[in-house]
Amino acid sequence: MRPEPNVTIEPLGSYPDLIDVTVAWQMAEWDPDGDVSRWTRDRTEEAQMAGLPCAWVAFSDETAVGSVSFVENDMDTRLDLSPWLAALFVIPSHRGRGIGTALIRRCEQEAWSVGANCLYLHTTTAQDLYERLGWVTLGEEAYEDGSVMLMVREPL
C-alpha cells in the first residue's frame, strides 16, 4: 500500500456542497437505479459535525476522494443491531493508499466517543480489509438480492 500524502478526514457537515458528489459515488457503486431523493435525504441527515448520524469525507490535498457514514442502522433485516459503519467508498484511483482505513478509523472513533459498545457493518467485497483492522465476522446473511458478511467491531 502506498501511503497517500496530505490526506485529511473532515465532517460532511463542513462541506454540504459535497452531498451530491457523495450520493453520486454511492449510487454508482451500489444502487445505480436507486431513488436519488432517498439517497440525498439520507446523506443530508448525515451532514453533521459529529454524533449519530454523521458522515466524513476524505480529501487528498484538496480533492474529495472518499467518504464513510456512521448511522443508526444499515440493514432493515437487522434492526436489533446498532450503530453501523456504512457506505465506505474511495474513488478507484485512490484505493490501496490507506484512505479507506483512515475513514474506517474515524468512524470507529466517533462510535466510541458517543458510548457505543460495538459497531456493525455488512460487506460483500472487503471482508479481508475489515478483518485486518480488527473486525470480527459474525456470519453470512441473506440481504436484498444476495448475501453479505455481517461484521462487528468492539472498542479496544
pTM for this structure? 0.94
**What is the average per-residue pLDDT within 47-73?**
96
pLDDT at res. 49: 95
pLDDT at res. 24: 96
C-alpha angle 109/92/19, rounded to 5°?
60
Q: Is the pLDDT of residue 105 over 80?
A: yes
Q: Determine the residue type at 104.
A: I
How many percent of the chain have pLDDT more than 90? 91
19-31 CB burial, b ≥16 within 10 A, e <16: beebbebbbeeee
Q: What percent helix, strand, coil does the chain show, rounded to 5? A: 35, 30, 35
Summarised one tens digit per residue, pLDDT across range 10-59 is: 999 999 999 999 999 999 999 999 999 999 999 999 999 999 999 999 99
How many Å apart are CA 105 and CA 132, to the nearest integer? 12
